């Protein structure tokens, strides 16, 4: 191919990616439809990111997926009465072009593949959400909820509850939402309404409520009804403490973004969200590490059987640690987080059993906090029930990541160069590093990366949807 032809090909792809962007936005805002290409989200993606998502298809199926081949599927999707779901136009396109040479049957094919959600997904009513606490997870949840703003949005962020209320507090909170040293700038605008104690982010009016405890808040005064309160503070972890939210006027349910104590269900979305009943008023979304490792452990146990194992977490430091040496009630955590690796405890291995009871008593765990601000890794050292090889495990997990019910939880990489900073912003619970897999006879050591902030927050949103009875199916179903 001549130099001119390379440039011509690039310009064609660039123009098609640009043409996709308004269609992607309208589908999401007006119909609640999220479009992906082999799991890679296209909503809000730059033209370059859309092109890259298509290039990655070759790694999965061995063939290119050209933008001129996928664009007709996006156009066809925009003409269907489909709402509140995730649609992988990459998988649909690859399947179609394997059996067709033109687009004459495309609209019929799309209607058949998406039949389960055509004209059947518009009955859900919008629900109110309150963020109690506005730290690392609270602000990322706000970003995720705000990006859903539109007439078809079903999760409506109505309020944020904070302690304090000192002069200048509101502007500082707005600034922290606008700018993030790890995750970059907020995608949009944030305005401050000082007079009414509110933030307006991308047209979403968010009431800011100052209170020293749940008992001080009457949400109905702000027009909030039957709300789900998402507690990001970690102050209360049992039924008695979290039950304070349920006593507030305007609140229906509460969700904890940390491991819970007692009989509260710990949910890993994609694994055991079916355990959430309408009668469950308080639920926990477990921890970031539990969310990262449980989907992979479930997949491995289903296929090969896990006799026992150990989970070692290489975890980025958190706000709980000290910047410089100072007193801390926990062992070793008083030492400077940016300067040291710190051995500490994790309950993630035991917590797996709450979401996946079949592994109860089979796993041990420990953690090492390291001097990075975000993205962690779990090393799973497993003794299996059957013999395995590196290829057999990798081939299986690749299939699970692309075509199973865990496709939204497990990502798969074959890169030999990937490092932690490359995974900032990953929306998956965990990313399976296939190049690091070690397997011999019935032993395997597996490496799972995870954005312990953003990836976990995406999992929390899934639990929120389930608690409120909002269904977002992923299509197409089954293998390609």
Residues annotated as catalytic (active site), given as ranges: 288
3-state secondary structure the chain: CCHHHHHHHHHHHHHHHHHHHHHHHHHHHHHCEEEEECCEECCCCCHHHHHHHHHCHHHHHCCCCCHHHHHHHHHHHHCCCECCEEEEHHHHHHHHHCCCCCCCCHHHHHHHHCHHHECCCCCCCCEEEEEECCCHHHHHHHHHHHCCCCCCCCEEEEEEEECCCCCCHHHHHHHHHHCCCCCCCCCCCEEEECCCCEEEECCEEEEEEECCCHHHCCHHHHCCCCEEEEECCCCCCCHHHHHHHHCCCCEEEEEECCCCCCCCEECCCCCCHHHCCCCCCEEECCCHHHHHHHHHHHHHHHHHCEEEEEEEEEEECCCCCCCCCCCCCCCCCCCCCCCCCEEECCCHHHHHHHHCHHHCCCEEEEEEEECCCCCEEEEEEEEECCCCCHHHHHHHHHHHHHHCCCCCCEEEECCCCCCHHHHCCCCCCEEEEHHHCEEECCEEEEEEEECCCHHHHHHHHHHHHHHCCCCCCEECCCCC
Q: Which residue has the tokens 């639990």?
A: 463
CA separation for the pair 128, 429 (Å, rounded): 25
Q: Which of 42, 37, 38, 51 is nearest to 22 (CA)?
A: 42
The answer to whether 262 touches 236, Cβ cutoff 8 Å, is no
Max Cα-Cα span within the chain: 71
């Amino acid at each position: 191919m001549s130099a001119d032809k390379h440039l011509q090909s690039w310009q064609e792809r660039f123009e098609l990616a640009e043409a996709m962007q308004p269609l992607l936005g309208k589908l999401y805002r007006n119909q609640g439809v999220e479009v992906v290409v082999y799991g890679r989200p296209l909503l809000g993606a730059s033209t370059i990111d859309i092109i890259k998502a298509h290039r990655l298809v070759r790694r999965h199926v061995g063939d290119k997926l050209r933008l001129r081949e996928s664009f007709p599927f996006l156009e066809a999707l925009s003409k269907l009465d489909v709402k509140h779901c995730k649609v992988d136009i990459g998988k649909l396109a690859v399947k179609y072009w394997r059996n067709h040479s033109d687009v004459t049957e495309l609209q019929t094919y799309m209607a058949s593949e998406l039949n389960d959600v055509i004209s059947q997904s518009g009955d859900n009513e919008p629900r109110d959400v309150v963020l109690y606490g506005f730290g690392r997870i609270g602000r990322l949840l706000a970003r995720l909820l705000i990006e859903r703003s539109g007439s078809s949005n079903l999760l409506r962020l109505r309020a944020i509850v904070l302690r304090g209320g000192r002069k200048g507090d509101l502007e500082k909170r707005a600034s922290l939402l606008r700018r993030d040293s790890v995750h970059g700038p907020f995608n949009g605008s944030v305005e401050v309404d000082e007079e009414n104690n509110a933030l307006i982010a991308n047209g979403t009016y968010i009431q800011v409520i100052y209170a020293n405890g749940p008992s001080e808040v009457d949400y109905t005064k702000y027009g909030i009804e039957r709300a789900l309160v998402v507690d990001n503070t970690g102050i209360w972890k049992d039924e008695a403490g979290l039950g304070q939210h349920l006593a507030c006027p305007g609140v229906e349910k509460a969700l904890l973004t940390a491991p819970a104590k007692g009989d509260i269900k710990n949910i890993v979305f994609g694994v055991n969200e079916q355990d959430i009943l309408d009668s469950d008023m308080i639920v926990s979304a477990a921890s970031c590490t539990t969310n990262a490792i449980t989907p992979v452990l479930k997949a491995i146990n289903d296929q090969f059987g896990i006799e026992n194992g150990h989970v070692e977490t290489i975890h980025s430091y958190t706000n709980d640690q000290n910047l410089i040496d100072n007193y801390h009630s926990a062992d070793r955590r008083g030492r400077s987080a940016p300067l040291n690796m710190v051995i500490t405890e994790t309950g993630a291995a035991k917590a797996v059993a709450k979401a996946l009871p079949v592994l109860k008593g089979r796993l041990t765990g420990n953690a090492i906090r390291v001097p990075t601000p975000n993205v962690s890794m779990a090393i799973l050292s497993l003794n299996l029930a059957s013999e395995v090889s590196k290829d057999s495990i990798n081939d299986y997990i690749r299939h699970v990541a692309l075509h199973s019910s865990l496709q939204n939880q497990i990502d798969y990489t074959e890169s030999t160069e990937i490092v932690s900073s490359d995974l900032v912003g990953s929306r998956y619970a965990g990313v399976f590093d296939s190049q690091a897999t070690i397997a011999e006879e019935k032993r395997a050591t597996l490496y799972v990366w995870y954005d312990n902030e953003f990836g976990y927050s995406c999992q929390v949103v899934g639990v929120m949807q389930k608690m409120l009875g909002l269904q977002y199916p992923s299509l197409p179903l089954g293998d390609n």
